């Protein structure tokens, strides 16, 4: 499979995996595993400041791990698709088996 990957693909994949190397981003992803949430809801659940959450959400959106849905004056964040959910859950299962 990796024979099809270019150097640029490997760089993009490394960037993708780097998203999981930050505890703040991981905690946000865990919250979004449960359900979509607003910035305020994520702040309440994680204890992070609004600016910290917004900063991490921006990074996660750039890496296409999450998406936002606008409703009125609020943005609701969720995992981008079922692949992201699967990656996080598989990593947790692996960690629990160590």
| pLDDT tens digits for range 51-98 | 999 999 999 999 999 999 999 999 999 999 999 999 999 999 999 998
User: Any residues with CB less than 8 A from the CB of 23 and at least 6 apart, and which?
Assistant: none
Cβ atoms of 88 and 42 within 8 Å: the answer is no
- Dihedral, 60, 62, 68, 70 alpha carbons, nearest 10: 140
pTM summary value: 0.90
User: Does 2 score more than 90 pLDDT?
Assistant: no
Cβ atoms of 36 and 80 within 8 Å: the answer is no
Q: What rounded mean pLDDT belongs to the chain?
A: 94
């Amino acid at each position: 499979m990796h024979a099809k990957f270019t150097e640029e693909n490997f760089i993009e994949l490394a960037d993708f995996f780097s998203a999981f190397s930050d505890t703040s981003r991981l905690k946000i992803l865990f919250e979004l595993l449960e359900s979509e949430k607003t910035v305020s809801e994520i702040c309440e659940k994680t204890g992070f400041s609004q600016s910290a959450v917004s900063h991490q959400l921006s990074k996660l959106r750039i890496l296409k791990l999450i998406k936002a849905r606008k409703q009125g004056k609020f943005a609701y964040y969720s995992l981008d698709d079922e692949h992201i959910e699967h990656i996080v859950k598989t990593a947790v299962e692996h960690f629990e088996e160590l």
